[in-house]
């Protein structure tokens, strides 16, 4: 299981539902997501099921982010590529009480490394809604740059990304 300095990255499971639903119940969290899930418990259930199912289909997915010092669920992040996504994606989402600690950047760096070293990707991308300043800041801190804008699931979005370092 991947680890960072402060986080354990483990597969999401059904047991994460209560924490996951609490995370998405905050409109600031659900509102940042280009997947445009809502914030109700039913929306959270579908979102969690999608990330768990994605691992079944693709063999990889976002991980649950577990704070080593407390064992608490702080969010999710990782690689993914649902049907119709413009490349191998890396994404991040934190419960509101855990913003401002550097956890998204820490997990996103691990996700990018995983894509290049384990999944053998030559490029990773992230879809970010215009105005999501905190997400753009994460993207820039991990070495992404703005690639282009495109329409994703009916919305204009920014595509950020980076190439694998030369071997």
Ligand X SMILES: CC(C)(COP(=O)(O)OP(=O)(O)OC[C@H]1O[C@@H](n2cnc3c(N)ncnc32)[C@H](O)[C@@H]1OP(=O)(O)O)[C@@H](O)C(=O)NCCC(=O)NCCS
Residues of this chain that bind ligand X (CB under 6 A): 29, 32-34, 91-94, 99-105, 128, 132, 134-135, 137-138
- Please compute Rg for the chain using Cα positions: 15
Q: Which residue lies nearer to ligand X by CB, 81 or 167?
A: 81
Cα 83 to its chain centre, rounded Å, is 16
Q: Which of 2, 23, 10, 7 is nearest to 106 (CA)?
A: 7
Q: Which residue lies nearer to ligand X by CB, 2 or 167?
A: 2
Q: Which residue lies nearer to ligand X by CB, 120 or 139?
A: 139
Q: Which residue lies nearer to ligand X by CB, 118 or 137?
A: 137
What three-state secondary structure class fits 58? Answer: helix
**At its nearest, how many Å lie between ligand X and the CB of residue 112?**
13
**At its nearest, how many Å lie between ligand X and the CB of residue 109?**
9
d(CA 36, CA 30): 7
Q: Which of 99, 165, 83 is nearest to 138 (CA)?
A: 99
**At its nearest, how many Å lie between ligand X and the CB of residue 167?**
28
**At its nearest, how many Å lie between ligand X and the CB of residue 120?**
24
**At its nearest, how many Å lie between ligand X and the CB of residue 29?**
4
d(CA 12, CA 63): 6
Burial 55-86 (b: 16+ CB within 10 A, else e): beeeebbbbbbbbeeeeebbbbbbbbbeeebb
Q: Which residue lies nearer to ligand X by CB, 49 or 137?
A: 137
């Amino acid at each position: 299981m991947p680890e960072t300095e402060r986080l354990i990255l483990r597969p999401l499971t059904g047991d994460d539902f209560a924490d996951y639903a609490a995370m998405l119940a905050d409109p600031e969290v659900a509102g940042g997501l280009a997947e445009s899930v809502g914030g109700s418990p039913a929306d959270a259930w579908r979102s969690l099921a999608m990330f768990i199912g994605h691992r079944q289909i693709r063999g990889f997915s976002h991980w649950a982010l577990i704070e080593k010092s407390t064992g608490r669920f702080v969010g999710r992040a990782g690689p993914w590529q649902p049907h119709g996504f413009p490349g191998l994606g890396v994404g991040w989402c934190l419960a509101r009480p855990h913003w401002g600690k550097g956890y998204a950047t820490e997990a996103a760096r691990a996700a990018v490394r995983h894509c290049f070293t384990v999944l053998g990707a030559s490029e990773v991308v992230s879809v970010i809604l215009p105005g999501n300043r905190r997400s753009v800041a994460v993207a820039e801190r991990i070495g992404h740059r703005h690639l282009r804008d495109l329409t994703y699931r009916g919305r204009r979005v920014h595509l950020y990304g980076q190439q694998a370092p030369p071997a």
